[in-house]
Structure 1
Amino acid sequence: MHRSAPRLTRILACAAVPVMLVVAGCSSDSGDKKETASATPDATKSEPAVEAAKFAELPDPCASVEAKTVKSLVPSAKSKKGTRSKSSDASVRGGCSWNGLADKGVKGSQYRWLDVGFTRFASDQTLGSGADRAGEEFDKQVKKTEATDDAKNIATGSVSGIGDQATKITYDQSKTDEDFRFTTIVARTGNVVVVVNYNGAGYAGSKTPSAETILKGATMAAKDAVAAVTDANAKTAASPKASDKASDKDTGKAADKSADKASGGSSKKPSEKPSSSAGSKSSD
């Protein structure tokens, strides 16, 4: 009886060894699986795609403001069809201007200048969505106009009913010994920024146009220009082949670089002679 006790102890000790090895093995397998599970999400993780650009085309800038609007705002325009701004890529950037001096006889003369500029931004995985990039350009154009040299009585405010967002900047400026009234409206519709400048002055004793008159005119032109963006892309959407071609062009690096360089509006400074582009510089 005394000899059986040590033998039983040895048997139990030997039986315990495989159990410990199995437990250790399970512990090791569990750690491997945990490491694999934690590594899997990192291997498959990817950045979300940016929102697609809403508009793939720009309208003809010289046809973006309705003829009746041009006739109302610049009744004696030297070129009723407008003067087109130079652009290396019309699908990314474009502009047009009208100006003229109306003789009022003994009451002097009235000068008017109107210009419109468009800049379109494509969506880019690195640079962001077209709408976000256009929003950044929108802010730049507002600040640029507010910083116009020699501007007086500057006032800035939001405008409703024009695109996704719009801001008006009104101010006065004295050039060529005359007092000019200015209104700039910066608007964003989707991934396109529209900048409209309208200004006027009275010559030879004619009165300076009221701030209300200039603001009303700029608003009319801005509504026309923003609507023209939608119309231009509605025509493109009707043709699948044209739409596909435009979408492919959106992703081009050259178009992105052109859009990033675009300045949008113009300096709107009268020159020495009102008969030769007195209201503003070309937007290019």
Structure 2
Amino acid sequence: MHRSAPRLSRILACAAVPVMLVAAGCSSDSGGDKDASPSASASPSASAKPTVAPAAFSELPDACKSVKKKTVGSLVPEAKDKSGTADKSNDVSARGGCSWNGLDNKGVDGSQYRWLSVSFMRYESDQTRGPGDKLAGEYYAKQVAAVKATNGAKKVKDEPSAGIGDQATTVTYDLRKTDADFKYATVVTRTENVVATVIYNGAGYQGAKSPKAADLLKDAQKAAKEAVASVAAANK
């Protein structure tokens, strides 16, 4: 009879405290399970995040040398600077570009203007954002959308292009500027974690006809293939 009184007092005391405390201090009249180990009550540690694989390419080529001199000479006759004009970049391993332009004066037959540009964007793998090729793929899609939305562009056509990198899309359109009808051919391509964009356009002046869109596109694709090959060569 004398033993039951302390036990009854303990039960009544536990009934008066919050439920969460009951589980911690009143689950047993013996003061807890002596066999419970500290490791059994500890919360499981957070699982380690999977390691993101390094990006395939760590360097970019010299954009002004990414297209062969012979190709530049064919696409841009009478180029002002055959070596090209490099874009300004604060990190040449992440982004770079180059352009060429020239006016081929054919006398009474008028003049032909051509402009060619090549630009690169490289992405590193990131533990939070994901693999470099995934990030490049996202930029690739945005780049294609931006080209298609060029202000003032008419007769816009886009289609996938096989045989150029891992992904490639060609976009062609017409654009009226400087009192001339320009034809544009753009190739956006991704090779692993690098996106290369080749823009080629031209127009006829002084009575000369504008170049054919199909011819411009064929030449732009040739330049894009050389640009993609230069990425792999720069990372050997």
**Shorter-chain TM-score range:** 0.7 to 0.9
Q: 1:100 maps to what in 2?
A: 102
TM superposition score normalised by structure 2: 0.83
Amino acid at match of 1:102: D
Q: How far apart, in 1, do the equivalents of 2:41 and 2:53 lie?
A: 31
Q: How far apart, in 2, do the equivalents of 1:203 and 1:122 lie?
A: 44
Structure-2 change in CA distance of 1:228 and 1:37 (3 Å): farther
Q: How far apart, in 2, do the equivalents of 1:29 and 1:202 lie?
A: 93
Q: How far apart, in 2, do the equivalents of 1:143 and 1:29 lie?
A: 67
Q: How far apart, in 1, do the equivalents of 2:49 and 2:147 lie?
A: 37
Q: 1:189 maps to what in 2?
A: 191
- SS across alignment from 2:170: strand
The Cα shift of 1:29 comes to: 8.0
Q: How far apart, in 2, do the equivalents of 1:183 and 1:101 lie?
A: 18
Aligned pair count reads 207
Q: 2:142 maps to what in 1?
A: 140
The Cα shift of 1:106 comes to: 1.1
- Identify which of 85, 89, 92 aligns with 2:91: 89
Q: 1:115 maps to what in 2?
A: 117
The Cα shift of 1:209 comes to: 0.3
Q: 1:171 maps to what in 2?
A: 173
Q: 2:3 maps to what in 1?
A: none
- SS across alignment from 1:161: coil
1:210-263 Cα shifts (integer Å, max 9, x gaps): 0111101110110010000000001xxxxxxxxxxxxxxxxxxxxxxxxxxxxx
- Which of the pair is proportionally richer in helix? 1
Q: How far apart, in 1, do the equivalents of 2:206 and 2:110 lie?
A: 5
The Cα shift of 1:50 comes to: 1.0
Amino acid at match of 1:55: F
Q: 2:227 maps to what in 1?
A: 225
1:156-178 Cα shifts (integer Å, max 9, x gaps): 11011111101111100011111
Is there any run of 5+ residues in structure 1 with no aligned partner, and where?
1-24, 235-284
Q: How far apart, in 2, do the equivalents of 1:29 and 1:218 lie?
A: 78
In the TM superposition, 1:226-241 aligns within 5 A as 226-234=228-236
Structure-2 change in CA distance of 1:109 and 1:37 (3 Å): farther
Q: 1:274 maps to what in 2?
A: none
Is there any run of 5+ residues in structure 2 with no aligned partner, and where?
1-29
- Identify which of 37, 40, 43 aligns with 1:36: 40
Q: 1:208 maps to what in 2?
A: 210
Q: How far apart, in 2, do the equivalents of 1:233 and 1:37 lie?
A: 52
- Which of the pair is proportionally richer in strand? 2
The Cα shift of 1:124 comes to: 1.0
- SS across alignment from 1:46: coil
Q: 2:27 maps to what in 1?
A: none
Q: How far apart, in 1, do the equivalents of 2:42 and 2:81 lie?
A: 69
Of all paired residues, the percent bearing the same amino acid is 54
Amino acid at match of 1:214: L
Q: CA RMSD in A?
A: 2.1
Q: How far apart, in 2, do the equivalents of 1:177 and 1:29 lie?
A: 92
Amino acid at match of 1:138: Y
Q: How far apart, in 1, do the equivalents of 2:222 and 2:181 lie?
A: 23
Q: How far apart, in 2, do the equivalents of 1:134 and 1:93 lie?
A: 12
Q: How far apart, in 1, do the equivalents of 2:132 and 2:226 lie?
A: 22
TM superposition score normalised by structure 1: 0.69
- SS across alignment from 2:229: helix
1:33-68 Cα shifts (integer Å, max 9, x gaps): 7x83994xx416111011210000000000000011
Q: 1:157 maps to what in 2?
A: 159
Q: How far apart, in 1, do the equivalents of 2:45 and 2:70 lie?
A: 61
2:86 counterpart of 1:61: no
